[in-house]
Amino acid sequence: MVVICSHQSQNRLADLVAEHLDHLHYLNDILSLDIGDLNQVLTDHLLNKLLIPLYVYSLTKRRRHSQLEVMGLLSYLWFKTT
């Protein structure tokens, strides 16, 4: 029974990852259209409503950061991953 539940959990996780990748490809397709105003709004929303709250704030104890602190954290993460 444990093996079955684990297998089902792995399948569910794989499905969620695949769905996440589909969304990223969709966003990439939109950004590739190179419509300046649309790209600006989309990237602002992605950064300020998703990426910073989800990833940056989860790495620190504080909930709000100044723009300088956020840029420092994002720069650190970018350099760390490249």
Residue-range definition of the domain harbouring residue 52: 35-82
Is 41 found in the same domain as 16?
no
| pLDDT (0 to 100) of residue 67 | 63
Is 39 found in the same domain as 19?
no
DSSP string, 8-71: HHHHHHHHHHHHHHHHHHHHHHHHHT--HHHHHHHHHHIIIIIIIIIIIGGGSS-S---HHHHH
Is 45 found in the same domain as 24?
no
The pLDDT of 40-50, averaged and rounded, is 86
Is 53 found in the same domain as 27?
no
Counting the structural domains of the chain, the total is: 2
Is 73 found in the same domain as 55?
yes
Is 54 found in the same domain as 79?
yes
Tell me: the pLDDT tens digits for 56-66?
777 776 555 56
pLDDT at residue 1 tops 60: no
Is 42 found in the same domain as 80?
yes
